[in-house]
């Protein structure tokens, strides 16, 4: 929407001082957030931030490179189990463990990227779906991973107690700041990556992979790289997720989760970092909070419950929740193919010219 | 500017909708002059949704209590939250209920992982949790002062079933088919302990299975070749269905025995195409068509209050899980506090509703080791073979 006059303007992270100022204000709000709300909302914010990291990574793959993945719950699981097990069995500080776990996930991403060179569309969807399910079953079968019973995340140790440096993050608020810093770094990292030669190569592959190859983009390298980067994001998100929930089993990382991740990216806006952030926040908030509590809304709640019992199944309110979530997706895909990012652009335009 | 005005109203209305649930909770958590807030989580949607009926079953008991005027003048306000069998969501709904709604106690709760994820949080916030709908040793050993379990442990159940197989069915050759996880292994342990008490009897065959396995022909052939008269299976519904169908095709028909997790006969009979008839299982509640007066009362109430629900094992388990909490609340009297309710729960002795007899002490929060033994009759009906039997070999008592 904006006119770019030269290359350097195109690669700026903040397109104007206004954007920079608002970003700073938003940043201050995020850092003040835990002091403004109760513990429950901090937990919810933690889950949202974890999903933001994952959605930004998934968007690099789906939105920017044009490859589909129905297996991101698998990378998420590798991150969660990898981080928790590295910290349980080796005395390792969290940041090192989460980076190693992220790299393991990235390695698996690279492996999955190889068949992606030959598979497209639904075939790639099936291959990645198979990967996600396989990871779930392997973790469930091997006792090292705690089997199907699940495992506890260890204490979130940032230092090395053996060397007398110990810093344990044990409350939702402390974990919030850790996740917030990592999320900000990774979102900026994602935005930056898209402005480099690598990011432009991804976009070229999405628009036309043959044309991209003709222009000198090595498909083998960049497709697998896109999978690896995306999986790294999912792995880091998984590593943080482990400490947000503190207990998880393989079934946590099921197919539905992979689909929800994809929904976040599509609803937020394909090919937009901001869209991924908004999509993750909206879908998580709807799924975890608003749609769960509609039944207690005055008047409207009782009406919806009786409506659901009469016309849907016995489970009541949760029918409406699933229905609304699906409706939002359908409406966005039909009327706003750019997702929430598209809505955002239009709001911006509206205010720019307001009141005319 | 008409369009803008309308847009403004829409935004205002949406903002109001978002802010409404923020209304503050009462001063004392979960109890005030007119109501006691009780909650349960359970998968209502998603892949584990069939188990969601547990949470809806409890509602019948609470509605009955409220119809009779509540407990010492207070009505029960009951919240059900769908966690989709996802522990992250269990933590979220539990924190929301505790911190925003103010909940006095939780009952039931199906998912094992979800329960493990919130167990410590509930104890830290002094919220009572009665009758988790999963048997996990970590819930009750060591004693968690706020958590009271009544689901029979799997090794106790297997031990009682094995006693029945050896002493009543007079079987000599027993095979054991188990899911390769804690659930299956607990069952195996119980059976082995029991067999060891009969002059070191042993299993003719024990075969583990991964829950995703679809081809069970080699396992069933091994059981057939071992000459097993009885095969105990500690598996999930899908595996059990495949096992029965495979055995039928190779002409192997032992007496199948299984745990209470497969005691929803109507469901099992439907998915096995009638092969479930004759299978013996443990049960943690009376048969659905029992003429026990309590059962009759609940059945009538369910028909009246929630006619579209299927009156199945898991639905009525929800009632059984909620009974001891209601009993304790009645015992406490009008001055209800968390401490008073804990004292009442700790003093529950030989209480029996439609589930097993329950006894809780301050140092023992596993309420029972009793099961019933039932058999699937024609058309998925339940036949009672043996009334409540406790495990005389239980080591934890």
pLDDT tens, residue by residue, A151-177: 999 999 888 877 778 888 989 999 999
B4 located within any domain: no
- The answer to whether B134 touches B166, Cβ cutoff 8 Å, is no
**pLDDT given at position A3:** 61
Does residue B11 lie within any of the structural domains? no
- For B44-67, what is the mean pLDDT? 89
Residues of chain A with Cβ-Cβ distance to B44 below 8 Å are: 315-316, 318
Residues B274 and B158 in one domain: yes
Residue B93's pLDDT is 93
The per-residue pLDDT for B257 is: 96
**Cβ neighbours of B54 in A, within 8 Å:** none
Q: How many CB atoms lie within 10 A of CB B73?
A: 10
Parent domain of B176 = 154-283+374-390
Q: What is the dihedral of CA A68, A73, A76, A77, to 10 degrees?
A: -140
Predicted pLDDT of residue A186: 96
Same domain, B103 and B236: no
User: Rounded to a whole number, what is the distance in Å from the CA of B52 to chain A's nearest CA?
Assistant: 8
Whether omega before A355 lies within 30 degrees of 0, making that bond cis, reads yes
Q: What is the pLDDT of residue B113?
A: 85
Within a domain: residue B396?
no
**Is the pLDDT confidence value at B26 over 60?**
no
User: Is residue B181 situated within a structural domain?
Assistant: yes
Which residue of B91, B123, B310 to mutate against A (max A Cβ within 10 Å)? B91
Q: Which residue of B has its CA nearest to A137?
A: B212
Residues of B with CB below 8 A from A137's CB? 210, 212
Run of H or E residues at A343: helix A340-352
Q: How far apart are alpha carbons A340 and A272 in whole angstroms?
A: 10
Residue B340 pLDDT > 80: yes
* High-pLDDT (> 70) share of chain B, %: 93
pLDDT of B157: 95
Check whether B21 has a pLDDT greater than 50.
no
| B99 → closest Cβ in A38, A251, A298 | A38
Domain membership of residue B27 (yes or no) is: no
What's residue A265's pLDDT? 94
Q: How many structural domains does chain B have?
A: 2
- Position B23 scores a pLDDT of 45
Distance CA B382, CA B47 (A): 27
Which of B204, B175, B164 has its CA nearest to residue B389? B164
| Residue A248 contacts B where some CB pair is shorter than 8 Å | yes
User: Could you list the residue range(s) of the whole structural domain that residue A232 is in?
Assistant: 37-254
Residue in B46, B79, B120 closest to A256 by CB = B46
Q: Locate the chain A residue with the closest alpha carbon to B42.
A: A315
Same domain, B204 and B298: no
Q: Is there a domain that residue B9 lies in?
A: no
Say how many CB pairs under 8 Å bridge A and B: 116
Residue A315, chain B, CB below 8 Å: the answer is yes
Chain A contact set for B17 (CB, 8 A):
297
Q: Which of B56, B87, B98 is the closest to A252 by Cβ?
A: B87
pLDDT of residue A326: 87
Q: Model confidence at B318, in pLDDT bands (50, 70, 90)?
A: very high
Angstroms from B113 CA to nearest CA on chain A: 6
Give the tokens for residue B140.
């009750």
What tens digit of pLDDT does each residue of B86-121 get? 888 999 999 999 998 899 999 999 888 889 999 999
A344: in domain: no
Indicate whether B317 and B211 sit together in one domain.
no
Interface of A with B in 203-242 (CB under 8 A): 241
Does residue B163 share a domain with residue B272? yes
Tell me: pLDDT of B3 over 60. no
Same-domain status, B257 and B380: yes
Burial of A308 (0-12, 13-18, 19+ CB in 10 A): buried
CA atoms of A160 and B122, how far apart (whole Å): 30
Nearest CA in chain B to A39: B99
Say how many domains are in chain A. Answer: 1
A251 touches chain B (CB under 8 A): yes
Query: CB A150 to CB B85 under 8 A?
Result: no
At B76, is the pLDDT very low, low, confident or very high (cuts 50, 70, 90)? very high
How many CB atoms sit inside 10 A of residue B134's CB? 19
User: B251: distance to nearest CA of chain A, Å?
Assistant: 30
Neighbours of B392 (CB within 10 A): 12
**Co-location of B143 and B123 in the same domain:** yes
Is the predicted pLDDT of residue B59 greater than 70, yes or no?
yes
Mark yes or no for CB contact B88/A252 under 8 Å: yes
Nearest CA in chain B to A311: B308
Range with the poorest average pLDDT among A91-105, A111-125, A213-227? A111-125
Above 50 in pLDDT, residue B2? Answer: no
Strands (E), A99-165: 151-152, 156-157
Query: Per mean pLDDT, which of A114-123, A242-251, A318-327, B46-55 is the most reliable?
Result: A242-251
Nearest-10 crossing angle of helices A172-193, A39-59: 20
> Using an 8 Å Cβ cutoff, are B131 and B325 in contact?
yes
Q: Tell me, yes or no, whether B243 and B296 share the same domain.
A: no
State whether B44 and A315 contact (CB < 8 Å): yes
Q: Check if the beta carbon of residue B342 is closer than 8 Å to that of residue B146.
A: yes
pLDDT at A309: 76
Instruction: Verify whether the Cβ–Cβ distance A289 to B101 is below 8 Å.
Output: no
Q: Assess if residue A236 is contained within a domain.
A: yes
Scanning A92-151 for CB atoms below 8 A from B yields 137, 140-141, 147-150
List chain A residues with CB under 8 Å of B92.
40, 43-44, 47, 288-289
Contact B88 A244 (CB under 8 A): yes
**pLDDT tens-digit map of B360-382:** 999 999 999 999 999 999 989 99
Nearest to A292 among B46, B82, B99 (CB): B82
DSSP assignment, residue A252?
A: G
Nearest Cβ partner for B116 among A40, A150, A321: A150
Q: What is the pLDDT of residue A322?
A: 83
Residue % of chain A over a pLDDT of 70:
99
CB B230 within 8 A of CB B257: yes
A167 part of a folded domain: yes
Q: What is the pLDDT of residues B169-183, one digit of tens each?
A: 999 999 999 998 888
| Cα-to-chain-centroid distance, residue A19 | 23
**Looking at residues B208-220, what average pLDDT do you find?**
90
Establish if A47 touches chain B: CB-CB under 8 angstroms. yes
ipTM exceeding the 0.95 mark: no
Partner-chain contact B180 A141, CB within 8 Å: yes
Buried b (16+ CB within 10 A) or exposed e, A111-134: ebbeebeebeeeebbebbbebbbe
Q: Is the pLDDT of residue B319 over 90?
A: yes
Is residue A355 domain-resident?
no
The verdict on residue B88 lying in a domain is yes
Taking CA atoms, what residue in B is nearest to A313? B308
- Domain-located, residue B96: yes
Mean pLDDT of A330-342: 88
Mean pLDDT of chain B: 89
The answer to whether A287 and A324 have CB atoms below 8 angstroms apart is no
Percent of chain B with pLDDT over 90: 74
Is residue A72 within a helix (H) or strand (E), and if so which, with residue range?
Answer: helix A72-89
Indicate the residue of A39, A140, A318 with minimum beta-carbon distance to B82. A318
pLDDT given for residue A262 in this prediction: 93
Residue A291 is assigned to a structural domain of this protein: no
- CA nearest B56 in A: which residue? A315
Find the mean pLDDT for residues A248-260: 90
Cβ separation of B79 and A296 shorter than 8 Å?
yes
**B270 and B316: one domain?**
no
Q: What is the pLDDT of residue A354?
A: 75
Looking at residue A167, what is its pLDDT? 86
The pLDDT of residue A2 is: 53
Residues of chain A with Cβ-Cβ distance to B82 below 8 Å are: 292, 315, 318, 321
CB-based contact A331:A323 (threshold 8 Å): no
pLDDT 10s digits, A22-49: 889 999 999 999 999 888 999 999 999 9
Closest CA–CA distance from residue A315 to any residue of chain B (Å): 6
Contact B92 A43 (CB under 8 A): yes
Residue A146 lies in a domain: yes
Verify whether the Cβ–Cβ distance B92 to A355 is below 8 Å: no
Are B139 and B161 in a shared domain? no
Classify residue A155: in a domain, yes or no: yes
Instruction: Report, as an integer, the average pLDDT of B296-306.
Output: 94
> Which range, A52-61, A331-340, B1-10, has the best average confidence (pLDDT)?
A52-61
- B212 and B353 assigned to the same domain: no
Which domain CATH number covers B261?
3.40.50.2300
Domain assignment present for A224? yes
Residue that has been written with the tokens 């007398």 in this structure: A164
B275 and B245, same structural domain? yes
Q: How far apart are the CA of A206 and the nearest CA of chain B, in angstroms? A: 33
CA distance B117 to B170: 43
């Amino acid at each position: 929407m904006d006119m770019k006059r030269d290359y350097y303007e195109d690669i700026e992270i903040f397109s104007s001082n206004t954007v920079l100022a608002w970003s700073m204000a938003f940043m201050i709000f995020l850092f003040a957030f835990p002091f403004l709300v109760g513990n429950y909302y901090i937990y919810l914010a933690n889950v949202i931030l974890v999903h933001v990291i994952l959605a930004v990574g998934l968007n690099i793959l789906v939105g920017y490179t044009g490859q589909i993945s129905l297996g991101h719950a698998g990378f998420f699981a590798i991150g969660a189990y990898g981080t928790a097990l590295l910290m349980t069995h080796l005395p390792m500080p969290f940041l090192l463990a989460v980076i190693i776990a992220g790299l393991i996930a990235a390695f698996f991403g690279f492996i999955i990227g190889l068949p992606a060179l030959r598979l497209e569309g639904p075939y790639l969807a099936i291959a990645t779906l198979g990967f996600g399910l396989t990871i779930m079953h392997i973790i469930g079968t091997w006792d090292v991973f705690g089997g199907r019973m699940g495992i506890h995340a260890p204490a979130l140790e940032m230092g090395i107690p053996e060397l007398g440096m110990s810093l344990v993050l044990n409350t939702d608020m402390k974990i919030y700041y850790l996740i917030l810093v990592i999320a900000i770094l990774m979102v900026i990292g994602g935005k930056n990556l898209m402005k480099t030669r690598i990011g432009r190569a991804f976009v070229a592959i999405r628009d036309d992979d043959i044309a991209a190859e003709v222009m000198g983009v090595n498909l083998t390298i960049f497709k697998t790289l896109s999978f690896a980067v995306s999986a790294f994001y999912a792995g880091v998100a998984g590593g943080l997720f482990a400490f947000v929930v503190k207990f998880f089993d393989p079934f946590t990382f099921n197919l539905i989760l992979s689909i929800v991740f994809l929904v976040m990216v599509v609803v937020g806006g394909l090919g937009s970092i901001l869209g991924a952030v908004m999509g993750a926040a909206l879908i998580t908030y709807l799924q975890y909070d608003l749609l769960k509590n509609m039944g207690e809304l005055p008047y409207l709640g009782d009406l919806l419950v009786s409506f659901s019992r009469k016309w849907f199944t016995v489970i009541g309110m949760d029918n409406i929740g699933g229905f609304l979530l699906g409706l939002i997706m359908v409406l966005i895909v039909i009327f706003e193919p750019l997702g929430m990012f598209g809505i955002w652009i239009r709001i911006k335009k509206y205010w720019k010219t307001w009141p005319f | 500017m008409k369009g803008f005005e309308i847009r403004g109203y829409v935004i205002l209305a949406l903002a109001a909708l978002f802010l409404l649930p923020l209304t503050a909770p009462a001063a004392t958590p979960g109890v005030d002059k007119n109501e006691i807030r009780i909650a349960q989580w359970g998968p209502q949607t998603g892949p584990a949704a069939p188990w969601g009926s547990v949470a809806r079953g409890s509602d019948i008991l609470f509605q009955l209590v409220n119809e009779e005027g509540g407990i010492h003048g207070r009505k029960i306000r009951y919240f059900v939250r769908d966690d989709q069998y996802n522990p992250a969501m269990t933590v979220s709904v539990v924190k929301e209920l505790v911190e925003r709604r103010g909940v006095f106690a939780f009952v039931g709760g199906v998912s094992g992982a979800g329960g493990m994820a919130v167990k410590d949080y509930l104890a830290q916030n002094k919220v009572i949790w009665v009758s988790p709908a999963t048997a996990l040793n970590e819930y009750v050993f060591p004693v968690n002062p706020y958590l009271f379990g009544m689901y029979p442990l799997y090794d106790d159940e297997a031990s009682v079933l094995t006693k029945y197989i050896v002493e009543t069915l007079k079987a000599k050759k027993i095979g054991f088919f188990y899911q390769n996880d804690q659930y299956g292994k607990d069952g195996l342990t119980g059976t082995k302990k029991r067999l060891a008490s009969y002059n070191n009897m042993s299993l003719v065959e024990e075969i583990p299975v991964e829950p995703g396995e679809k081809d069970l022909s080699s396992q069933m052939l091994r059981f057939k070749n071992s000459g097993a008269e009885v095969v105990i299976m500690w598996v999930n519904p899908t595996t059990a269905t495949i096992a029965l169908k495979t055995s039928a095709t190779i002409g192997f028909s032992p007496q199948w025995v299984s745990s209470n997790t497969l005691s929803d006969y109507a469901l099992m009979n439907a998915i096995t195409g009638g092969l479930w008839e004759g299978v013996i299982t443990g049960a943690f509640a009376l048969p659905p068509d029992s003429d026990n007066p309590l059962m009759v009362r609940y059945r009538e109430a369910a028909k009246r209050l929630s006619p579209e629900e299927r009156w199945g094992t898991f639905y009525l388990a929800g009632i059984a899980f909620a009974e001891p909490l209601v009993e304790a609340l009645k015992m406490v009297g009008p001055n209800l506090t968390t401490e008073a309710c804990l004292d009442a729960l700790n003093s529950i002795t030989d209480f029996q509703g439609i589930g097993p007899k329950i006894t809780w002490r301050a140092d023992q929060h596993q309420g029972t080791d009793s099961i019933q033994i039932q058999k699937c009759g024609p058309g998925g009906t339940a036949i009672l073979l043996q009334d409540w039997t406790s495990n005389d070999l239980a080591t934890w008592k």
